[in-house]
Homo-oligomer: A and B are copies of this chain.
Amino acid sequence: MAEGVRARQRDQTRATLLREGRRLFAAHGYAAVGLAEIVRAAGVTKGALYHHFSGKPDLFRAVLGQVQQEVADRVAGAADRRDDPWDRFTAGCREFLTAATDPDRQRVMLVDGPAVLGWTEWRSLDEAASGRHLAEALAELVRTGVISRQPVAPLAHLLSGAMNEAALWLAGSTGPADLADTWAALSRMLDALRAADPAGRAG
């Protein structure tokens, strides 16, 4: 990519728009940020913005995709550093908890995301990013008999929601032990998944 003067300038303008849009959305929320403010921060005009994106929601969609990708990469990275399926699962959960607590991602990913794009599209995007790793990890745990045979979709949603809300709370909490306590509670929940498997440990 970026062959020629024009293409390079184009990529840079788009990147600047994304960067400033993300910064402002994360800091003040989607509704409180006007397009005028974004293009002013980026040093361009609304013409440039509407040349790269179809509108304000589309810019937000691009920002959200970027944020989700970062989180997904960190989760996948943490998981791939382990071999045992159970370790991969728990390490991914733990990494998600810390990655989603980042205030630069929090608001865009967990608060404005569902409201701006609608819950359905937000869920679909989340599923395509980090949510996919969670479902796959659970599926493998079921397949290898580590946890009992059961539908993974409800489980994935329950765990995803739990971690999302926990991350939201942790970001604004003041207690220094809150992260440790939350992880302890979540860890007990996860452990219960395999502990409560009296029967079939065979694939």
A interface residues with partner B (beta carbon < 8 Å): 29-31, 107, 110-112, 114-116, 118-120, 123, 150-151, 153-155, 157-166, 168-169, 172, 177-178, 181-182, 184-186, 188-189, 191-193, 195-196
Contact = CB atoms under 8 A, between A and B. Distances in A.
Contacts of A195: 192, 195-196
Given A115-B111, A162-B159, A192-B188, A154 B168 contact: no
Contacts of A189: 158, 189, 192
A115 B192 contact: no
A182 B165 contact: no
Q: Specify how many copies of this chain sit in the oligomer.
A: 2
Contacts of A154: 166, 169, 178, 181-182, 184-186
Contact residues of A: prevailing secondary structure: helix
Contacts of A114: 111, 115
A115 to B, nearest CB: 3
B181 A151 contact: yes
A27 to B, nearest CB: 13
